Amino acid sequence: MYPAHIRKEISCDGKVTYSFQSVAEHCRNTAKYASEALKAVGLEKTAYLAGLLHDCGKHTFGFKQYLEDAVINEKEVKRGSVNHTFAGVKLILAKHAKYGGTNDLQDLTIELIAYAIGAHHGLFDCIKDKDESAFAYRLEKENIDSEEAIENFYNECASEDEIEKLLLEATAEIKNLADIIVSIDRTEHDEEHEIPFYYSLVCRLLTSAVIDADRKDTMEFEKNEVTKQVSLDWSKALENFNSYIENFKTERDIDLARKEISAACAVAAQKPEGVYRLNVPTGGGKTLSSLRYALEHAKKYHKKRLFFVMPLLSIIEQNAQEIRKAVQDDSIILEHHSNVIDDENSDVEELNKRELLIQSWDNPIVITTLVQLLNTMFLGKTSSVRRFAALCNSVIVFDEVQSLPNTMLTLFNLTINFLVKKCHATVILCSATQPSFENAEHKLLSEVSDLTTLPSETLKVFERVELVDKDSMGMEELSDFALGIIRSKKSLLVVCNTKREAKELFDSLQAEVSSVIPMYHLSASMCTKHRKMIVESMKSDLSLPDPKQIVCVATQVIEAGVDISFNCVIRLQAGMDSIVQAAGRCNRNGENKLESVYIVNLLGEKLHRLKEIETAKSATESLLLAAKTEKQ
């Protein structure tokens, strides 16, 4: 027997024994898990074949000796010194010769599978410098005993007839996939086609399935236990959600408007898979409305997972807590971001389980950051690639999607098109200030539509502020202007473009009013716990029957996803989307009829290192000038 893994076990009396997993068993298990991962997207046989061949190269005496030396003989061996990855690549690429290059789909299928096998321990470019084939380069490397491995693979694991049959079935799947890719490529003849990029995503998808299946089976053998799947009961989660929102107050007009938006999202959840916008004003209850949509849609269309993707940790801190309260079942929720700190007293088994879920995203509800999601889509690390297949057959909710960098629009759009059209994902783009996806070089699917269109009467409820252009001011003048507002308003929020501006203005105002009025400062340079404490303290001050008079000077960290309401806001000039988001922190619940949001162009502002903010600010300046000219 050729071993894929060896497990050392020590009994209570100190006796040492060894358990062996054969390469054949490991390859079959990996093939099964990989095929299960991609069954819903029509790549079951393709994934099975890639998984079956991925460790073909371990069928050699050299690898057996290497493994026994490392585990049984406890010798120091160089990790990776016996190349086992590319024997399977050589086996499948040899099929090229059989078909003589006369079947393009067969060749495409072979190369997609070859890449998934070759990349399961590390990605590589298919084309090297000077247009050389990276496949050929790796196959010519020394220490690849491919002939011995392939012969033993056919004898021990799978017959050549089985491989041929699986390859024909895989080719039929790739034919269906190719038809879909051609149908969603909307480029003209003289433009760069989107098709190659879509095939790169197919490579990533297959590689993801193989990596996760390989790591999963390896871990199960090493721990000597089968991973338990968390049961999916969307009906129960939905029942918990409905009982949670039943107790919401409906005393104010804005409460009724939020209820109307939530109900509309529940109805829209019956629509088929696709890309949708949830475009409602700030303070419209997007978090719970999108959660309601996701749960209803998952139940109707048997979705495997829900993803809630947020751009800022400050948003996750608040929204994750709200989602947990609504779902009322922590066992089905995974938070994956840098602010999750495991309790020192946590059970080791629980910590290991959480680590596995982070690696695979194999949980019903995943709350993560935009950075982690973009890494999963595009980063060249196997740890990121591994999670890509988890996006299949899911609902992906992008909260505050306006935070997506403009430079990422094309890559983002094409990947979303692929996930929706090929991988049965449904995508929701949530924001009060939607990006211009239609203006990207490569666009989102043309059938993007709104989950709900609010009637004019409902929209009027959200008319809580007026934007006032205060032209240009220096820092000293801005400080005096803010002091004037403080004397007449209960609460004031000032949002700056840089940490330096915020600190300078905070110090200036603090010197004047801190003895009589609580002063708060927020910026991304603060640790999460500190920032959270400040937000909670401000909320407490502002929620009293007779709210305290407070002042907060902050950076953009307070702009999106923070449920807090000030009487007045000053926003230093930036992109209009940022100004609207800042306005969402003013009179948020319609406490007063109408409040002011002042736009100030800070003189001498240094934004040369913040090009996106600088460009957006320039656009707003032009817009305000045009509005002023029109009035005149």
Q: What is the CATH number of the domain that holds 489?
A: 3.40.50.300
Q: Is residue 125 a part of any domain in this protein?
A: yes
Residues 593 and 621 in one domain: yes
SS (H, E, C) 156-204: HCCCHHHHHHHHHHHHHHHHHHHHHHHHHCCCCCCCCCCHHHHHHHHHH
Do 159 and 261 fall into the same domain? no
Distance CA 398, CA 561 (A): 12
Last residue of a domain, one of 435, 457, 479: 457
Do 180 and 153 reside in the same domain of the chain? yes
The CA distance from 528 to 314, in Å, is 8
For residue 632, pLDDT beyond 80: no
Q: Are residues 585 and 600 in the same domain?
A: yes
Give a yes or no: residue 228 inside a domain. no
Residue 229, in any domain of the structure:
no
Same domain (yes/no): 386, 246: yes
Same structural domain, 180 and 273: no
Indicate the burial class of 291 (C-beta count within 10 angstroms; 0-12, 13-18, 19 or more).
buried
Q: Round to whole Å and give the CA distance between 574 and 559.
A: 12
Element (H, E) at 544: none
3-state helix, strand, coil in the chain (%, to 5): 55, 15, 35
In a domain? residue 373: yes
- On average, the pLDDT of the chain sits at 87
The CATH number for 12's domain is 1.10.3210
Residue 54 has pLDDT above 80, yes or no: yes
- Residue 361 pLDDT > 90, yes or no? yes
Give domain status of residue 412, yes or no.
Answer: yes
What pLDDT is recorded for position 358? 86
| pLDDT band (50, 70, 90) for residue 344 | very low
What is the domain range of residue 521?
464-631
For residues 98 and 109, the answer to whether their CB atoms sit within 8 Å is no
CB 358 within 8 A of CB 336: yes
Together in a domain, 437 and 528: no
Specify whether 452 is located in the same domain as 510: no
The mean pLDDT value for 523-547 works out to 86
pLDDT mean over 333-345? 65
Any domain includes 115: yes
Report pLDDT for 592: 83
The better pLDDT of the pair 515, 6 is held by 6
Which segment of 47-56, 66-75, 125-134, 554-563 scores lowest on mean pLDDT? Answer: 125-134
pLDDT at 191: 58
Which uninterrupted H or E stretch holds 463? none
Query: How many domains, in total, are found in the chain?
Result: 3
Report which residue type is found at 237: A
Sign of CA dihedral 180, 186, 191, 192: negative
What pLDDT is recorded for position 356? 75
* Closest-CA residue to 504 (of 482, 485, 534): 482
How far is 172 from 166, CA to CA, in rounded Å? 10
What local confidence, expressed as pLDDT, does residue 470 receive? Answer: 94
Q: Within this chain, do residues 46 and 147 fall inside the same structural domain, yes or no? A: yes
- In angstroms, the CA 449 to CA 459 distance is 19
Instruction: Give start and end residues of each alpha helix (H) in 54-103.
Output: 61-71, 86-93, 95-99
Residue 619 lies in a domain: yes
What are the tens digits of pLDDT across the range 289-303? Answer: 999 999 999 999 999
- pLDDT level of residue 348 (50, 70, 90 thresholds): very low
Task: Output the pLDDT for position 441.
Answer: 81
Least confidently predicted of 45-54, 519-528, 567-576:
519-528
| Residue where one domain finishes, among candidates 403, 427, 457 | 457
Distances from the Cα of 317 to the Cα of 9, 227, 363, 556, angstroms: 42, 29, 19, 16
Confidence of residue 341 (pLDDT cuts 50, 70, 90): very low
Residue 54 and residue 33 share a domain? yes
Q: Do 471 and 513 share a domain, yes or no? A: yes
Answer with the one of 223, 256, 272 that is the final residue of a domain. 223
pLDDT for the residue numbered 525: 84
Same structural domain, 298 and 441: yes
Q: What is the pLDDT of residue 128?
A: 66
pLDDT at 342 over 60: no
The whole-number average pLDDT for the span 423-429 is: 95
What is the 8-class DSSP label of residue 126? Answer: S
Residue 195 CB burial class (10 angstroms; 0-12, 13-18, ≥19) = middle
Give strand pairing partners of 595.
465
Is the pLDDT score of 145 beyond 60?
yes
